Each structure stands twice: as C-alpha cells, then as structure tokens.
A = this chain, B = another copy of it.
Amino acid sequence: MNLKALEGKPLGYRASTKEVLDALRFGSDGLLPAIAQQYDTGEVLMMAWMNREALEETLANKQVCYWSRSRQRLWRKGEESRQVQQLVELRTDCDGDTLLLLVDQTGPACHTGRASCFYWKFEEEDVVMDREPMVDPEELYGER
C-alpha cells in the first residue's frame, strides 16, 4: 500500500493503522522526522526523529517517545528533565514521510530551558536570539 495511491479518496476515508504504518516511508536509517507542535497555541516546539518502535510506543502510551540519533536509543521525551509531551493528535502527510505531533508540552520543550527550540530568528542583517529560558537548564538536568 502506498499513501499517494489513496490521495484521491473522499473525506472520511479510513485505512487501518497497520496499513498506514507499513506504508510510511522511513529513511534508510529507519527514521522519520517528527514535528512537535503545542496543540492549543500552535507553537512549533521542536523537531526530532522516530523509528517505527518509537512511533508505536507513542501511539500506545500517548506519551511521546523519539529515537535519539546521538544516543542511538529510544528517547522518552522528559525521561531526564521531566518535561514530557502528552500526545493529543498524530498525523502523517501525503507522502507518508513526515509525522506531525500535536502535544501538550510540560514546561519547556528545549534542553536550554526555552519553550521552543526555534529561538534563532533571521532578520535583515543578522540573526537574533529572541526567546528567553523559562527555567534554568540546571534545574532540569542538575549537574551533568
């Protein structure tokens, strides 16, 4: 099954979860990019990666679990910082190669203590850091 083959289906068309999971186009590294967006404000918080296991766990537990590329293991968001993401809604796109997670984020999403990771804004002449930490990252991670 291929999601593109279904793009002409009518509103309300349903496919089984297994069919869609099998149709997702994980990269050669077994990963899909996953965008996390705060469900009520619409703020894009971060982007991370999921393999199929992380995705299935997230769907089952409604607590977001990613695949950490740097640690090469499952990363249950908040396992260290306690700043978890509760899953509100999960979507995929026309090509089945990106995930969009609507989440309810506890505290800051960013390891720097900022609400969102996207705190560098391009302006005309330069790039400005325009978000302040909500909490000191020391409070989230203690001595590392």
Q: Which residues of A come within 8 Å of B, CB atoms?
A: 3, 6-17, 19-20, 33, 35, 37, 41-44, 46-47, 59, 89-96, 98, 100, 110-112, 114, 117-122, 125-132
Q: Which residues of B contact A117 (CB under 8 A)?
A: 93-95, 98
With both beta carbons as reference points, the residue of chain B lying nearest to A131 in the complex is identified as B11
With both beta carbons as reference points, the residue of chain B lying nearest to A111 in the complex is identified as B94
> When the two chains form the complex, which single residue of B7, B94, B119, B126 contacts A16, counting CB atoms closer than 8 Å?
B126
Question: 25 A-B residue contacts at CB 8 Å?
Answer: A6-B129, A7-B112, A11-B131, A12-B129, A14-B127, A16-B127, A17-B125, A20-B120, A20-B122, A20-B127, A37-B42, A37-B44, A41-B42, A46-B93, A47-B93, A59-B122, A90-B121, A91-B120, A91-B122, A92-B127, A94-B111, A94-B112, A94-B117, A98-B118, A100-B118
CB distance from A64 to the nearest CB of B (A): 13
Complex alpha-carbon distance, A47 and B110, angstroms: 20
Please determine whether A121 and B91 come into contact, CB atoms closer than 8 angstroms. Answer: yes
Please determine whether A15 and B126 come into contact, CB atoms closer than 8 angstroms. Answer: yes
Complex alpha-carbon distance, A47 and B117, angstroms: 17
Please determine whether A94 and B122 come into contact, CB atoms closer than 8 angstroms. Answer: no
Please determine whether B33 and A129 come into contact, CB atoms closer than 8 angstroms. Answer: no
Please determine whether A128 and B14 come into contact, CB atoms closer than 8 angstroms. Answer: yes
